[in-house]
Amino acid sequence: MKNRSRLAFALAGTLAALASQAVDDAQYQSIVRLGELNGIAMQCKFFGETRRMKKAMIASLPKRRALGEAFDEVTNQTYLAFIKNNARCPDANRFSQQVDEAIAVLRKRFALETAQ
């Protein structure tokens, strides 16, 4: 919980930038979730999953710098927290399912905007 509050504080500036670009909270949270998973994937060397998440981001999100920066910031914070907490890598199959779910949510949240 403590790491989540630090992450929220660290992303306050990015969130302000996103708000000015009309990204709602549900959309933002879908980016955060993928960033969290990406940080874990990088630490656990699940590079296929990392590539999959980045492709989904590129295909689903409008081309706005602040969106990519939010993803990168969350990725970095999660990666560092993983190391600091000496966390264990999850089961690769279960992790892949979590990535599938997060990508589906991202696509759903940004479907209307990318359809325009």
Report pLDDT digits (tens) over 30-40. 999 999 999 99
Please indicate whether residue 107 or residue 115 has the higher confidence score (pLDDT): 107
Alpha-carbon span 50 to 82, nearest angstrom? 16
Alpha-carbon span 62 to 40, nearest angstrom? 25
Report pLDDT digits (tens) over 22-66. 678 899 999 999 999 999 999 999 999 999 999 999 888 888 888
